[in-house]
Amino acid sequence: MSPRNLLLSLTLFVFATAGLRAQGQVTGELQKWHRIQILFDGPQTSESASQNPFLNYRLNVLFTAPDGREFTVPGFFAADGNAAESSATSGNKWAVRFSPDQVGTWTYTASFRTGDEVAISLDPNAGTATGFDGASGSFQIGLSTKSAPDNRSKGRLEYVGERYLRFRENGTYFLKAGADSPENLLAYADFDNTVASKTWSPHLGDWQQGDAEWKNGKGRALIGAVNYLASKGMNAFSFLTMSVIGDGKDVWPWVSTTHSGLDEPGGQDAANRLRYDVSKLEQWEILFQHADSKGMFLHFKTQEEENDRLLDGGELGVQRKLYYRELVARFGHHLALNWNLGEENDLYDELGDTNNTRVRAYASYIKSLDPYNHHIVIHSYPNSQSELYEPLLGDSDLTGPSLQIQINNIHRDVKRWINDSKASGKQWVVTNDEQGDHTTGVAADASYGGDKGSRGDNRSDVRHKTLWGTLMAGGAGVEYYFGYQTGVTDLTAEDWRSRKTKWEDAKLALDFFNDYLPFWAMESRDELISKSGSYCFAKTGEIYVVYIPSSGTESLNLSGVSGTYSVRWYNPRSGGSLKQGSVATINGGGVRNLGTAPTDTGADWVALVEKTSDSGGDGGGTGNCEADFEEQNGRVIIEAENLDLAQGWNTGNSFADATGSGYIVWKGGNSFSSPGNGTISTSIVIHTPGTYRFEWRNKVGHGTNSTEANDSWVRFPDADDFYGEKNGSRVYPKGSGKTPNPAGASADGWFKVYLSGTTDWTWSTNTSDHDAHQIYAEFDTPGVYTLQISGRSNDHLIDRITLALAGQSATDLSLGETLCEGGSETVAVTGVTVTPGDATLLIGETLQFTAAVLPADATNKSVSWSSSDPSVAIVSGNGTVQALSEGQVEITATTADGNFTHSALLTVEAADPPGGDTGDGGSGEDPGNDGGSGEDPGNDGGSGEDPGNDGGSGEDPDGDGSGEEPGDGAAQAAIQAVDVRQTEGRPLIFEFALSQPVSERIVLELEFVDITTEQSDYVVSETELVFEPGSQQAFLEVRTISDLKTEEDESFQIKVVRVVSGQVTVPDILATGTILDDDRDMKVSPNPATSYSLVQMSNVQEGTYELEIFAASGHLMQRETVTADGSGIASVTLAGMAKGLYIVKLTGIDYAYTAKMLVK
């Protein structure tokens, strides 16, 4: 383990102070979404103290986020602060646990009060302040270092008003599958003061070195059980936290060691239910923390049916309120959980509460305590769903049902509550958490070597009716219940291997939904198929899934939709890639037969039907539109006013002769040297590969000078080449890795594009100042590409934008705009990536962040930007960040479509003290502070003759931006330092000059010092520099090596070790050489590809590689060994990929490459 990782893994301690008094001790990994615990020193007390520490003291802590949001989090009595290990029952430690959702500086303030029953009061002023009341402090939160499946890499799982819960950090929707049994999971011998119903010994071997444990090896078997469940791809398990009365009588959070001291409604038993077992609950917490690291959803079932009236006779009284508070305070920080108000709840019958007012009150009280608004559910009897759920639809704080259903009714009942809740105005998250009948549920596998009971293996029915029946209804997942006649039952289970094949089937279903479907945008459409027992799940007109339990074929009603659809098959029994059946494609416009599956037609199969073209069937269009505009007959024509404008751009129509409905004009301020302000992005489908000339019809919008208000920035970030050309010579924008660069402005792949010679509407479209080059973009394969425009000069007007192949012209104003015919097909956003990932700025500096919206052809690529702490750094609407004060801040991009987010961590440091390097390389004579002469009116290094205010001035005679002269006429000659840059593979030619001729031979011994280069990057053939007598010049050539590795530009320095002969003054650094990387990222073509395309990966080093292709979800779809030839190309045939975004990865001995690939 590296020292850095070791440091990150150690518990971090922060001691906050207020005045002279020490306050809370902050512990935990100080990272976003991680558990932070603050321990306070308070009154010495115990679990059994006459002044009940659980009821008559109340700790609430107010946490304030960097952006000002506030969270009031309940705390708890923690005995000695280490009770899981010490089993302490007394102490003076009080704790609060919190999972911060933002990077930056958090503050906290403790409220600690005492009084009769103060703990259950929601009044912040209840009781009397005591002890450490008012303690406050702060701590700094950084980004999480965890990766999937750890929940901390995904963020908090939240109810968002839709059918599925969604992770906040990565924006993915959640489907669960896991264990509902055993209900008495926590009746574990290694927990303190617990009825030892279980040892979980079958899973002791699944514990791994370094996993959680307590008390020198306790807990390993249950931790191992969680490991096993996770290893099978499961992500959920449930457990009762209270079963004093009922089947098991072996789980509760209180001090009593037997149920007989807790099960009477009043008297001492009631008093005992106000005393919590601190060490037991701390050991539960160790289990739950480990579950978080394994990506587990925690299903807290707060009571069994027989306990409905144990607490306060069923009312929301002192016992129940305190019970809920202790659960929320100790465990509410976990990221993925739900609070289940009770198993088989029937208070509507027991107390005649037909409106379920008590259940409503339970949910509302929990919501008032829980600062994170976790999912709240309740569990029903299978035949009493209406009585429990109907009164709770609409305006209760319940966010879903936990359904117990007879197996034959699962699909029907899940659909019912999805539809009924949607109609009520509050969509519920609906899951199937128990399957009937109660004697069977999910039976043990036939292959299981242990006790299987009297019930036979029902794997096929579970897969069909429970698993796929739930998911295809739009349900959010399943938990498997073990019936009472299955050997390993709901009460006796300790071996989850008894359902090995059921977990495997569930994983295959989750993989299919996560890898192939936008399931959150689909719904049950069983009316479109013909057979009873089959299921249909669809996004109408785009994608359909049909589950067929047997007999091999099914029909799909595509009436009313057009297009051509592919038909591929997924095996729900064994998984694998999608397969071709007897029918490859079908057309819309009627009822179509899907054909038969590839093999085993009598078994269950899943048909995936996806639209591949708008043509086919009734009402079909002429093309499959995947972008805003498309190339037609070698031309792309865009009316600028129809673009999705960024901030700073306006539309106008006051100038005559504009085409369409007007034009656009930049009003966001001059941005002569920094492209990216007000970036407009639009997508273009290129059908015909080739070289296209870029032109726009534009105009000066203010004044009478054609060299002002005459330019904007342009970039094609994913074109295969982008350059200016004049008489066969080319220039490339700076930042493209290619040279030569144009005269004047360019940066980060952007060209400054200007008009000249007129202030009227013109097709003049040029780059390179005083040396006008026409502009071209090359597209090697058909696909979707991006055009970007950003503001440069205020009042520049753009009317029309065109691309045209050689031999075509797009400037005829009678030609129509090339919008995608038939209308654009909406492509949903699946994610966003912010670059750079991490960065450091000095106070006052700025940096441009960019957001890459996925997939590349997403319809709506709009993002908004935010800073987690605007006092440290602010971010503009286009992602430009300005550093204001020292600290760390999270810069976040949020997509308009889907609210996907991604963040980068920015560290702001203090600037160097005054008196150091001015940082601009210019003399005091340079008013623009950028190395140009004082005669540059644009203050950007250009001459007064540069209308764009960015050209190079000839006023600096020695070319280094310095106003310093070498001397005052002294006899000794001096050498001026030089800085040379060249593309790798080409020689660096250093030309050195003496300030005056000399009569003697000067010989200098040189050394080469790597800054970021390595010795393999260049070849040194001369280690001496020689000036012959009478000469003022000497040359040194350094050969550079092209390594076919995409990397940052690299530099080295040349220094003089000693003057071998002659008299000369030398600088500390004689020269700096910079090798510009000219290697391109690995390119995948064709891109987009089709399901079985032969795909080439180019721009890679010759050699053998392991090829891996991952779905956007991270699931490995294909792995092969491939060889790249001497031309840097490797090939592979895709193995039936579904439509979507993929990551292609090549890994070799010395080189590794990654690229994105779209399959359509």
Give the pLDDT score at 236: 99
Give the pLDDT score at 623: 42
What lies within 8 Å, CB to CB, of 329 at 6+ separation is: 73, 74, 75, 76, 96, 97, 369
pLDDT band at 911 (very low <50, low <70, confident <90, very high): confident
Give the pLDDT score at 55: 99
What lies within 8 Å, CB to CB, of 381 at 6+ separation is: 344, 346, 388, 404
738-746 mean pLDDT? 92
Residue 828: exposed, middle, or buried by beta-carbon count in 10 A (0-12, 13-18, 19+)?
middle
Give the pLDDT score at 937: 35
1018: left (phi over 0), alpha (psi -120 to 50) or beta: beta
Mean pLDDT of the chain: 87
pLDDT in tens, 44-74: 999 999 999 999 999 999 999 999 999 999 9
Q: What is the DSSP letter of 3?
A: H
How many Cα atoms occupy the beta-carbon half-sphere of 149 within 13 Å? Answer: 19
φ, ψ for residue 452, nearest 5 deg? -105, 0
Whether residue 103 is predicted with pLDDT greater than 60 in this model: the reply is yes
pLDDT in tens, 982-1015: 877 778 888 888 888 888 899 999 999 988 888 7
Whether residue 222 is predicted with pLDDT greater than 90 in this model: the reply is yes
Give the pLDDT score at 220: 98
Distance between CA atoms of residues 1014 and 988, nearest Å: 16
Give the pLDDT score at 4: 36
Give the pLDDT score at 108: 98
Give the pLDDT score at 860: 66
Give the pLDDT score at 1140: 77
Give the pLDDT score at 930: 39
What lies within 8 Å, CB to CB, of 316 at 6+ separation is: 358, 361, 362, 365
Whether residue 901 is predicted with pLDDT greater than 50 in this model: the reply is yes
Whether residue 523 is predicted with pLDDT greater than 70 in this model: the reply is yes
pLDDT band at 569 (very low <50, low <70, confident <90, very high): very high
Whether residue 958 is predicted with pLDDT greater than 60 in this model: the reply is no
Whether residue 2 is predicted with pLDDT greater than 90 in this model: the reply is no
User: Can you tell me which residue has the tokens 């006459």?
Assistant: 50
Give the pLDDT score at 17: 33
Contact between 87 and 47 under an 8 Å Cβ cutoff? The reply is: no
Whether residue 595 is predicted with pLDDT greater than 80 in this model: the reply is yes
1070-1094 mean pLDDT? 80
pLDDT band at 926 (very low <50, low <70, confident <90, very high): very low
Radius of gyration of the chain (CA): 35
Kind and range of the H or E element at 460?
Answer: helix 459-461
Share of the chain above pLDDT 90, in %: 62
Nearest one of 146, 171, 168 to 156, comparing CA atoms: 168
Please indicate whether residue 1142 or residue 878 has the higher confidence score (pLDDT).
Answer: 1142
352-379 mean pLDDT? 97
Whether residue 619 is predicted with pLDDT greater than 50 in this model: the reply is no
pLDDT in tens, 390-410: 999 999 999 999 999 999 999
Q: Which residues are 747's β-sheet partners?
A: 750
930-956 mean pLDDT? 36
pLDDT band at 1156 (very low <50, low <70, confident <90, very high): confident
pLDDT in tens, 540-563: 999 999 999 986 788 999 998 888
Distance between CA atoms of residues 877 and 883, nearest Å: 15
φ, ψ for residue 502, nearest 5 deg? -70, -40
Give the pLDDT score at 949: 38
Distance between CA atoms of residues 862 and 900, nearest Å: 11
789-817 mean pLDDT? 92
Give the pLDDT score at 940: 39
- Exposed e or buried b per residue across 659-695, where buried means at least 16 C-beta atoms within 10 angstroms of its C-beta: bbebbbbbbbebbbbbbbbbbbbbbbbbeebebbbbb
Q: Which domains does the chain have, with CATH numbers?
A: 9-145 (2.60.40.10), 153-516 (3.20.20.80), 525-613 (2.60.40), 629-805 (2.60.120.260), 831-909 (2.60.40.1080), 973-1076 (2.60.40.2030), 1083-1159 (2.60.40.1220)
Share of the chain above pLDDT 70, in %: 89
φ, ψ for residue 168, nearest 5 deg? -70, -40
Whether residue 941 is predicted with pLDDT greater than 50 in this model: the reply is no
Q: Which of 88-102, 486-500, 683-697, 815-829 has the lowest mean pLDDT?
A: 815-829
Give the pLDDT score at 827: 62
242-263 mean pLDDT? 95
307-322 mean pLDDT? 97
Give the pLDDT score at 947: 37
pTM: 0.61
Whether residue 22 is predicted with pLDDT greater than 80 in this model: the reply is no
Whether residue 304 is predicted with pLDDT greater than 70 in this model: the reply is yes
Give the pLDDT score at 701: 93
Whether residue 965 is predicted with pLDDT greater than 70 in this model: the reply is no
In order of 678, 703, 712, 797, 951, the CA distances from 794 in angstroms are: 12, 11, 9, 9, 18
pLDDT in tens, 1103-1134: 888 899 988 666 788 888 898 887 778 889 88
Whether residue 1153 is predicted with pLDDT greater than 70 in this model: the reply is yes
Whether residue 617 is predicted with pLDDT greater than 70 in this model: the reply is no
Whether residue 10 is predicted with pLDDT greater than 50 in this model: the reply is no
Whether residue 916 is predicted with pLDDT greater than 70 in this model: the reply is no
